[in-house]
Chains A and B, each alone.
Chain A
């Protein structure tokens, strides 16, 4: 009896293992590109806490891919996107990046939103000789040879924003941020800049990520009475922060507040009435008047519905696909090293205007703009800088 049992058990155990192996074996590595298609990895959080901000980027990337395919593809091949979910979990990002590079053999990935997810992907990139286009504004302090950073790094927006605020709105500042690396680094850049323009920091506060109770911080702001609030609060916390600021009487007509992380997409969730009158500093605003941008916005709305708004990261995600395509064409190859070499000083007529990849540091030259939120959730552009050189390792 026990003999049968044992054999039976091994059989069951064996078949279970086999059952696990079959789907795995079904995932034979695809080849990165064939005679008429080339794969492109899109790696963003579609689930979890960061999906709020990140899921929309996939839409912009898919649109760029469709446009490129309609116009004949890259080097004669159609782009086939492979979408992976990073699930707002950094180890998952590393796992999925590895899957894209080693199994699907994609020649490039457009992806990541938080710095943490990018940091998790970096070792995989260097090990598998991959290429990542990173489409989000971030804190700088990094220059990896496998990454092209297509949005503004902190100095590009923070210094421009603080200088403009000090000149136009007043010289006392209150710094509020979520408690992680982006806000802390931005404030590290903001403080010497404030000192340089003759201003003063009246307070610096950080709220835990995901915090929804800002009454104590607002009390401190009220006690300090700053001319300007510089905010780097992110994600769902922003909704609570803006709503509570407004309820406490510090709305956009009475208090100057500038954020380097609130784009049109965030305002959608914050609620248009709650954001009216506050400022944001971004590379791109949907309200930019130019034929390229009109075409871009129109195409996006046609594809995803008239309700949709476009923010800076979405535009940078869109640009990333084009930057990759142009670099491949310039290199006449999908080879990562050649594409990286060909990216140097590559220029692209983006919806935000001309952008140019830096000769050496993998970031982009771009203009930044300061906008003031209107009642319809769009921004009135009140200031536009010249082309700013990216400087990921500022000396402060």
Chain B
């Protein structure tokens, strides 16, 4: 492996890391903090992706001069739409299952089927194509052999921003404080006057909104079709569980470890075998650290 390839591969690893992280952040809140197993989380990503597609269509037709910056509107809109959808979903659906976690799994599975079919009926079974702004296509040529795709650099930057934002919301705002309090001890939080229902809904909506951002961003590198969400859901769960539930730092590290392992192994062996090796590795590590890499040290 030459120097150029090594640098490119390192970059690929970082890029995949940010993609996994973006994918898992929403789930880390919904599943990790709140303990809600939302099997329709992938469909929320697809919702973000389709929102992006519609935004792109709208800009193409009505303000083609702004096509270059449509993505920023699309990301904001994708966040907004999935945030609201998540809020409504929590109020009208999820909250009835808080004391039955495994039932949530089944009900949200049903929901994911319904959502997939909705996308199929509305947008057709075929993939839709989301245009990429010109300034994001192409690559930054570092040297003759090293070309770093601009859209990936953009994703790395955006993920850093989003992750920092999530950290700040959870640790520096009142909502974050309350959300953490409610997830740690619901009864006590309620007793000190926190409106736990509202906090639940907002936390869930935040996690959903993050899924929307992820879906929006993934239109740059992958395909958008009714089944898109299914591709990401299991991987997202694995990242969160591997990192340790209730630990955002854990999610970050686990995303990093899985991404680096995957890009390295894919270079050394066939794609299928690389995937099998990663999954087995995760299972073995989980055996020795059953609560993930970063298990919270407390009595349950």
Q: Which residues of A contact B (CB under 8 A)?
A: 46-49, 51-56, 179, 205-208, 210-213, 215-217, 219-220, 222-223, 236-240, 243-244, 246-249, 265, 268-274
- Within the complex, what minimum Cβ distance (angstroms) separates A238 from chain B? 8
Do the beta carbons of A236 and B129 come within 8 Å of each other? no
Q: In the complex, what residue of chain A is closest to B12 when comparing beta carbons?
A: A215
In the bound complex, CA of A49 to CA of B225 (Å): 9
Do the beta carbons of B152 and A247 come within 8 Å of each other? yes
- Within the complex, what minimum Cβ distance (angstroms) separates A307 from chain B? 10
Of A179, A236, A273, the contact of B127 (CB 8 Å cutoff): A236
In the bound complex, CA of A238 to CA of B221 (Å): 11
Within 8 Å CB of B147, what residues of A? 248-249
A-B contact pairs, 29 of them (CB 8 A): A49-B230, A52-B125, A205-B270, A205-B271, A206-B272, A212-B222, A213-B16, A215-B12, A215-B16, A216-B263, A219-B12, A223-B5, A236-B127, A236-B222, A238-B223, A240-B221, A243-B132, A243-B222, A244-B221, A247-B138, A247-B149, A247-B221, A249-B141, A268-B129, A269-B127, A269-B224, A269-B225, A270-B127, A274-B129
Do the beta carbons of B129 and A212 come within 8 Å of each other? no
Do the beta carbons of A246 and B225 come within 8 Å of each other? no
Do the beta carbons of A206 and B225 come within 8 Å of each other? no
Do the beta carbons of B137 and A219 come within 8 Å of each other? no
In the bound complex, CA of A320 to CA of B226 (Å): 28
In the bound complex, CA of A271 to CA of B3 (Å): 33
Given contacts A51-B120, A271-B130, contact A212 B223 (CB under 8 A): yes
Most buried by B among A210, A222, A243, A244: A243
B267 at the interface (CB under 8 A from A): yes
B residues 67-109 near A (Cβ < 8 Å) are none
Of B125, B226, B270, the contact of A179 (CB 8 Å cutoff): B270
CB 8 Å contact bits of B204-240 with A (1 = contact, 0 = none): 0000000000000000111111111011000000000
In the bound complex, CA of A216 to CA of B13 (Å): 9
In the bound complex, CA of A217 to CA of B267 (Å): 7
B145 at the interface (CB under 8 A from A): yes
B176 at the interface (CB under 8 A from A): no
Within 8 Å CB of A236, what residues of B? 127, 222-223, 225, 227-228, 231
Of A47, A219, A237, A273, the contact of B5 (CB 8 Å cutoff): A219
Of A249, A268, A273, the contact of B131 (CB 8 Å cutoff): A273
Q: In the complex, what residue of chain B is closest to A46 when comparing beta carbons?
A: B125
Within 8 Å CB of B223, what residues of A? 212, 236-240, 269-270
B residues 239-284 near A (Cβ < 8 Å) are 262-263, 266-267, 270-272, 275
Do the beta carbons of A217 and B271 come within 8 Å of each other? yes
Do the beta carbons of A240 and B222 come within 8 Å of each other? yes
Do the beta carbons of B222 and A247 come within 8 Å of each other? no
Do the beta carbons of A223 and B138 come within 8 Å of each other? no
Within 8 Å CB of B16, what residues of A? 213, 215
Q: Which residues of B contact A (CB under 8 A)?
A: 1-2, 5, 8-9, 12, 15-16, 19, 116-117, 120, 124-132, 137-139, 141, 145, 147, 149-152, 220-228, 230-231, 262-263, 266-267, 270-272, 275
Given contacts A244-B149, A244-B221, A246-B137, contact A271 B126 (CB under 8 A): no
Within 8 Å CB of A243, what residues of B? 132, 220-222
Within 8 Å CB of B266, what residues of A? 213, 216-217
Within 8 Å CB of A265, what residues of B? 126
Within 8 Å CB of B220, what residues of A? 243
Do the beta carbons of A269 and B128 come within 8 Å of each other? yes
Given contacts A206-B271, A206-B272, A220-B267, contact A269 B126 (CB under 8 A): yes
Do the beta carbons of B131 and A271 come within 8 Å of each other? yes
Within 8 Å CB of B222, what residues of A? 212, 236, 239-240, 243
Do the beta carbons of B141 and A219 come within 8 Å of each other? no
Of B1, B126, B231, the contact of A268 (CB 8 Å cutoff): B126
Given contacts A49-B227, A269-B225, contact A207 B125 (CB under 8 A): no
Within 8 Å CB of B262, what residues of A? 213
- Within the complex, what minimum Cβ distance (angstroms) separates B142 from chain A? 11
In the bound complex, CA of A179 to CA of B272 (Å): 8
Within 8 Å CB of B228, what residues of A? 236
Within 8 Å CB of B231, what residues of A? 210, 212, 236
Interchain residue pairs A-B with the least CB separation, the first 4: A269-B127, A239-B223, A247-B149, A271-B129
Do the beta carbons of B137 and A215 come within 8 Å of each other? no
In the bound complex, CA of A129 to CA of B59 (Å): 55
Most buried by A among B116, B149, B221, B271: B271
Within 8 Å CB of A222, what residues of B? 5, 8, 145
Known: A52-B127, A269-B223, A274-B132. 17 other contacts (CB 8 A): A52-B125, A55-B125, A56-B126, A208-B275, A210-B231, A211-B271, A215-B15, A216-B9, A216-B267, A219-B12, A220-B267, A239-B127, A240-B223, A247-B150, A270-B223, A271-B131, A273-B131
In the bound complex, CA of A341 to CA of B264 (Å): 56
In the bound complex, CA of A270 to CA of B117 (Å): 21
In the bound complex, CA of A211 to CA of B262 (Å): 12
Q: In the complex, what residue of chain B is closest to A237 when comparing beta carbons?
A: B223
Within 8 Å CB of A270, what residues of B? 127, 129, 223
In the bound complex, CA of A213 to CA of B151 (Å): 14
Do the beta carbons of B129 and A206 come within 8 Å of each other? no
- Within the complex, what minimum Cβ distance (angstroms) separates B42 from chain A? 13
Within 8 Å CB of B15, what residues of A? 215
Do the beta carbons of A219 and B8 come within 8 Å of each other? yes
- Within the complex, what minimum Cβ distance (angstroms) separates A306 from chain B? 15
- Within the complex, what minimum Cβ distance (angstroms) separates B133 from chain A? 11
Q: In the complex, what residue of chain B is closest to A51 when comparing beta carbons?
A: B125
In the bound complex, CA of A112 to CA of B125 (Å): 16
Given contacts A52-B125, A216-B266, A244-B149, contact A207 B271 (CB under 8 A): yes
In the bound complex, CA of A248 to CA of B221 (Å): 11
Of A208, A211, A216, A237, the contact of B12 (CB 8 Å cutoff): A216
In the bound complex, CA of A242 to CA of B94 (Å): 39
- Within the complex, what minimum Cβ distance (angstroms) separates B68 from chain A? 14
Within 8 Å CB of B138, what residues of A? 247, 249
Within 8 Å CB of A206, what residues of B? 270-272
Do the beta carbons of B271 and A179 come within 8 Å of each other? yes
- Within the complex, what minimum Cβ distance (angstroms) separates B300 from chain A? 36
